[in-house]
Chains A and B, each alone.
Chain A
Amino acid sequence: MKSRFESIGVYLPKTITSMTDRIASMVNPPPFDLTAITGIQEVRTADKDDDSYTMALAAARDCLSRSQYKPEDIDVIIIGSITRFTGGGEVRNYTFEPPLSHSIKFALGAPQAMHFDVSNACAGMFTGILLLDRMIRAGTVRNGLVISGDFITPITETAVKEIVGAADPQFGSMTVGDSGAAVIIDRAIDDADCINYFEIMSCAEYSHLCLGMPSEKSEGMALYTINAEMHKKDRIQLWPRFQLDYYKKNGGDIVSEKFDHILHHQVGSRAISNFSKYGSEIFEAELPKSSLSGVELYGNTATTAHMVVLYHALKDKKIKKGEKVLIVPAASGVITGFLSATFSNLKV
């Protein structure tokens, strides 16, 4: 039994912030062109009343609006945000207990659903999708809703105040944007819409390379990344080596899979290009020329990044009926993997 993406929803705040304005707000602007390196022109930033909860809820409602399921039909609700800010955009209480999924399920009208949050850096939504995929394959649940509301730009507010010097570990925080995303995963009816396979792993040797925690210099959440180590070729090539190993054990290869598109984590245009380049070296084959991206307009939206791009690619008809997409998660930890999905009837 396979699972599939049954429906997808996204919430984007209306407020648009240009990278030029963001860089101009830095106390110590960098000596390099951050816009050119990242390719990010603008990002969305949370509107006044937005927080992790409200953005997650809006995305879930958008997703349910184009689903065959009503809230009362949902078996499981999983929130996968990095941020769990509640109380509005000004208050910003970062919640640990209870999980956001509890209040979300009541707000959606799905009190019957089993609920929990998962925390797994930018792989939070993928973690939720993995758990649902395996539960559906085991027949222990029929469907589930994976949601994220990532009010992530508070780390940018910390970064603009605190960054000093070209090698500051908070530069990654300059690339993020706010959003919500949600997907319903259920049993596949046929191979025209299905998750063909999905494997993900954490290489915890590198768990110290990217840490999110409150700043100790000022008031607010911060993210510290040792970029030179995190984006080393060896780290990036964990993914293609993992996927090659999967083919070795299960048959198949990257060429015969005939992927129509590839979708990487949206950390910046140069990094995205490197992901495919370094992947290609290991596969010893060309990867799909169509690399789906939204980094120019939305930046790195953390846990929702792949889903925001997937949503727009479907909306803009970039993914045609029956096409196959290779989706490559990447997150602090280091987490990497590969998800092969075929789309025919997933509509936006």
Chain B
Amino acid sequence: MGAIILATGISTDKAVKSSVEHAVIAAKQCIAAAQIKAEDIALIINNGIYRERNIVEPAIALFIQKELGINPDFVKDNNGKDAFGLDLMNGGMGALNAMKVADSFLQSDSVRYVLIVGGDSHPSNNNPSDFPYTTAGSAMLLGKNVDPKCGFQGFAFKSEKFEGQGRLSYIEFKNVGSDGRNRITIKTAPGYAPAALKLAGATARSYIANHKLTPAKLHLISSQLDSHFAKALAKDIGVSEASTVDLFGQYGDTHSATFGVGYHQLQKKGLTKPGTEILFVGAAAGLDSGVVHYVC
């Protein structure tokens, strides 16, 4: 028996520019909604990619852990509880990888709660117009499931090669001079979003067939690479438009925060009642895709 989603939180205020701040706001909301003690969270996975000042050490998850006060000093806290934070990086797919990791930790009885946070900010925190992502944050708290019919029902991942890896981002040290803390180069290959859509659709269709799912019963929460992505994917795999979470119009591409934002929106609409079936479908640069069936 694996994990269930206990609560979510989101942070979408445009006045907030920092990915850490967004993640912390979302996580506080999430922990409050779950009505648990922060100290009972033992694993914090940050799947955000873009971070202020291009900090590469330590993990951004640790700044979030500190702000949330989750067992920041094992000795001084003196409660016998510890926590571990890490950054898991796989573009817009990282949250799905993190869900699988969290599911395994909970199945192996290693931890009581896992907090997954996501969110991206331009390193300069100025969010220039050519930054393709919306700066936002989401948090998802996972706990142990007691009913095998509920929770995550098995993950599938599939990758492909693609020209220019679809989207490639890097600090171009030869061209940034002493402004490396504020600069990021993001190159998107022609045809990236349609190719990612095609791969995600194929992976999802195969998953639906293998798991004998009925598309008409599913709600779809997917990556939102552009304004067409969610609806086109739903059509490809047979999920109705009414059951598709379309975030792009409201938020744009929230990238690593997308799955948390999507689940939060379904929950707010009262669509996560027991027995509700959700299909999470991710697509990311590489190319990479992933699917998991979740039963509320």
Contact = CB atoms under 8 A, between A and B. Distances in A.
A82 interface: yes
B173 A138 contact: no
B87 A213 contact: no
Of A202, A205, A206, most B-chain CB atoms within 10 Å: A202
B177 interface: yes
A138 B108 contact: yes
Chain B interface residue count: which class? Answer: 35 or more
Interface of B: 2, 49-50, 53-63, 65-66, 70-76, 80, 82-91, 93-94, 97, 100-101, 103-105, 107-108, 110, 155, 157, 159, 161, 165-174, 176-181, 184-186, 284-286, 288
B72 A205 contact: yes
Given A138-B104, A216-B181, A204 B72 contact: yes
Interface stretch (A94-102, A187-195, A251-259): A94-102
Nearest to B85: A202
Contacts of A201: 71, 74, 82-84
A38 to B, nearest CB: 20
Given A97-B168, A118-B86, A139-B107, A214 B180 contact: yes
A96 B50 contact: yes
Main secondary structure of the interface of A (DSSP, over half): mixed
Contacts of A134: 101, 104-105, 108, 110
Nearest to B98: A116
Interface string A168-204: 0000000000000000000000000000000111111
Given A96-B170, A205-B72, A120 B55 contact: no
16 contacts: A97-B285, A111-B159, A121-B58, A134-B101, A134-B110, A135-B104, A137-B108, A200-B84, A201-B74, A202-B61, A202-B62, A202-B83, A205-B76, A214-B176, A214-B180, A221-B180
Contacts of A83: 56
Given A94-B170, A102-B165, A106-B161, A131 B101 contact: yes
Contacts of B161: 106
B90 A116 contact: yes
Contacts of B170: 86, 93-96
Given A204-B62, A207-B62, A118 B89 contact: yes
Contacts of A241: 74-75
A306 interface: no
A115 B89 CA distance: 10
Contacts of A118: 86-89
Contacts of A86: 170
A219 B177 contact: yes
**10 closest pairs, A vs B, by CB?**
A214-B180, A212-B57, A138-B107, A205-B72, A201-B82, A204-B66, A204-B65, A93-B170, A98-B285, A138-B104
B63 A207 contact: yes
A204 B63 contact: yes
Of A97, A118, A212, most B-chain CB atoms within 10 Å: A97
Given A120-B87, A127-B86, A335-B58, 7 more contacts: A94-B170, A99-B89, A106-B161, A115-B159, A119-B87, A135-B108, A205-B73
Given A96-B184, A115-B288, A241-B75, A217 B57 contact: no
Contacts of A139: 107
Of B58, B59, B155, most A-chain CB atoms within 10 Å: B58
Contact of A216 (B97, B107, B178): B178
Nearest to A82: B57
A120 B58 contact: yes
Contacts of A106: 159, 161
A210 interface: yes
Nearest to A106: B161
Interface in A49-106: 82-83, 86, 91-99, 101-103, 105-106
Nearest to A91: B174
Contacts of B91: 97-99
B181 A213 contact: yes
A99 to B, nearest CB: 5
A333 B64 CA distance: 11
Contacts of B167: 97-98
Interface in A208-224: 210-221, 223
Contacts of B55: 211-213
Interface string A222-240: 0100000000001001100
A94 B87 contact: no
Nearest to B91: A97
A348 interface: no
A266 interface: no
A70 to B, nearest CB: 18
B58 A210 contact: yes
Interface in A108-167: 111, 114-121, 127, 130-131, 134-135, 137-141, 154
Interface string A280-309: 000000000000000000000000000000
A118 B86 CA distance: 7
Contact of B159 (A105, A204, A207): A105
Of B53, B66, B76, B104, most A-chain CB atoms within 10 Å: B104
